[in-house]
Amino acid sequence: MSTRRAFLAQVMGATVAVAAGATACSSGSDDSGSGSGSGGDHVKSATAITQVYGDGQKFIAVALEYDSAVDTSKLSKSSFKVDGRTVTKVYANTSASLADTGRDGKYVIVELSPDDSGALLWGNDSGGGSGTGKASGSASASASGSAPAGGGPKVGEKGTAKGAEKAKGTVTSTGSVTTTDGSTYPGGSTELATGKQVNLIVDDFKQFSYKDPKTGKTLPYNLFIPKDYDESKKYPLVLFMHDASVVSTVTTATLVQGLGAVVWASPEDQAERPAFVLAPQYPEVVVGDDYKPTAYFDTTAHLVQELTGKYSIDADRVYSTGQSMGAMMTLGLNIKYPDLFGASWVVAGQWPSSQAAPLAKKNLFVTVSQGDSKAYPGEDAIMSVIEKAGTKVSRATWNGKSTAAQFTKAVDAISAKGTSVNYVTFEKGTTLTAESKKKYGTMEHNSSWAIAYTIEGVREWIFQQRK
């Protein structure tokens, strides 16, 4: 994962600390803390580094800037101690960047285990709430007219989900640091605190707001613009729509909750498939179990149309995806706007089968857990409609605990069938983890998308489709 997390940071502030704090943060936030570093005043600055995983944003490293180049061969995991965290790797580098292997330079990188209990910065509670870093509402299924299963306020009500908590904590140099010119900075007991925070991939998105002249609604959104964007070329665009638990006035909330948006903008994905990535932030629940969406439903389609005209975007390669509420919107938008998307990935959602006939003409990849009491039977009903319309559906059952290699093999197998609609269900119980059980109990709804968006082969299949 080190390549994925590679970045350049403009570091400032003080030296390190690593325990989750309790205030909401924005990209590149700065505490402006300062102090002397281990080895006297030789540490000039420190940066906390975060990365988004399937279950949310985590604090996974610290970059220390020294006043002289450090000999990476003299560093080890025992060189630094971070309160409450597991140090997994320590090395020098020429920039404040993560790397597979270290090299002599002015920066010391202290990598931390993402599995630590103190690593998670997003929603690390037991099922929601309106506090910092927590999703609003519960994870239980809802009655007709309210939010879809997955939690959140009722349709039309404003959400209160915050951004992720800010990364904070304490680091101590427990061993000496040797520079390339032979100088030695002794370890000490000084505890230091972070200044700048860098959020990998998240910081690469820009925040905007769209005022829809047709509906009158204003929709905040995050947009990733491909590196070295060239107006003479045509690019695909991926639209990601979040679930109801993330409705919020914090524009970046959708970026830190999970992988649904940021995975398409990762350095690896962009190297293989350069694309725009659009992630709206809905201030209210757009559609619930009565399937009567608010005006933000149409505003989303209008925003996609607006951006397709504004940037050099290939109208035949505009793709949509979403989880829970976002999956419902994906299905609904494909029905109401049949010429908008070249392909769609539906993750744990449903729509009335009585309206599903137009989906028979679409390129769809559907993933849902067999333990999802609403989305699973809902998708089954839609697939029956599609098949009755004469469209062949390729079906498969996957183990949610499969390795990346096993998922790749599974995607290859279903893709080889060459159908326009692929329907994959995760075996019941296989999407659940110890952490998801703490948050959602045995409900296999929210747990499915933490796994789904890690499957690279599905993303590759989406990009192979055209209108």
pLDDT band at 148 (very low <50, low <70, confident <90, very high): low
b/e per residue 382-405 (b: at least 16 CB within 10 A): bbebbeeeebebbeeebebebeee
Q: What is the predicted pLDDT for the residue at 8?
A: 32
3-state DSSP call for residue 110?
strand
Task: Point out the least confidently predicted range of 30-39, 117-126, 333-342.
Answer: 30-39
Tell me, letter by letter, the H, E, C secondary structure of 330-397. HHHHHHHCCCCCCEEEEECCCCCHHHCHHHHHCCEEEEEECCCCCHHHHHHHHHHHHHHCCCCEEEEE
In tens, the pLDDT along 77-88 reads 999 998 899 999
Q: Looking at residue 149, what is its pLDDT?
A: 52
Gap between the Cα atoms of 57 and 259, Å rounded: 9
pLDDT of residue 106: 97
Give me the pLDDT at residue 14, please.
Answer: 30
User: Taking Cα atoms as reference points, which of 167, 171, 169 lies closest to residue 38?
Assistant: 171
> Contact 290/319 with Cβ under 8 angstroms?
no
Query: How many Cα atoms within 13 Å fall on the side-chain side of residue 416?
Result: 7
pLDDT band at 172 (very low <50, low <70, confident <90, very high): confident
Reported as a pLDDT band with limits 50, 70 and 90, residue 7 is very low
| CA torsion angle 360 362 365 367 (round to 10) | -50
Q: In CATH, what is the architecture of 213-463? A: 3-Layer(aba) Sandwich (3.40)
- Distance separating alpha carbons of residues 408 and 460, to the nearest angstrom: 10
* pLDDT value of position 440: 81
Task: Choose between 58 and 151: higher pLDDT.
Answer: 58
Query: Where do the domains of the chain lie?
Result: 19-121+164-199, 213-463
Distance (Å, whole) CA 274 – CA 271: 6
Options 2.60.40.10, 3.40.50.720, 2.60.40.2180, 2.30.29.30; CATH for 19-121+164-199 is: 2.60.40.2180
Residue 152's pLDDT band (boundaries 50, 70, 90)?
low
Per-residue pLDDT reduced to its tens digit, 409-426 = 999 999 999 999 999 999
Distance of alpha carbon 404 from alpha carbon 52, whole angstroms = 18
In SS3 terms, 59-78 reads as: EEEEEEEEEEEECHHHCCHH
Alpha carbons 224 and 238: distance in angstroms, whole number: 10
Rg (CA), the chain: 23
Q: How far is the C-alpha of 202 from the C-alpha of 414, rounded, in Å?
A: 32
Tens of pLDDT, residues 235-284: 999 999 999 999 999 999 999 999 999 999 999 999 999 999 999 999 99
Average pLDDT of the chain, as a whole number: 86
pLDDT at 215 over 90: yes
| Cα 43 from Cα 45, distance rounded (Å) | 6
State the residue for tokens 């204003």: 218
Question: Can you tell me the distance from the alpha carbon of 186 to that of 175, in angstroms, rounded to the nearest whole number?
Answer: 7
Q: 439 and 126 in contact (C-beta within 8 Å)?
A: yes
Q: Does the pLDDT of residue 2 top 50, yes or no? A: no
Q: What is the pLDDT at residue 13?
A: 30
pLDDT band at residue 366 under the 50/70/90 scheme: very high
CB 319 within 8 A of CB 343: yes
Q: How confident is the model at residue 153 (pLDDT cuts 50, 70, 90)?
A: low
* pLDDT tens digits, one per residue of 84-141: 999 999 999 998 889 999 999 999 999 999 999 999 999 754 333 222 344 433 333 3
| DSSP per-residue codes, 241-300 | E--GGG--S-TTHHHHS-HHHHGGGSHHHHHHS--EEEEE--SBB---TT----THHHHH
CA atoms of 462 and 29, how far apart (whole Å) = 34
pLDDT at position 158 is 73
Strands 343-347 and 313-323 turn out to be parallel
Share of the chain above pLDDT 90, in %: 72
Segment 22-49 shows an average pLDDT of 55
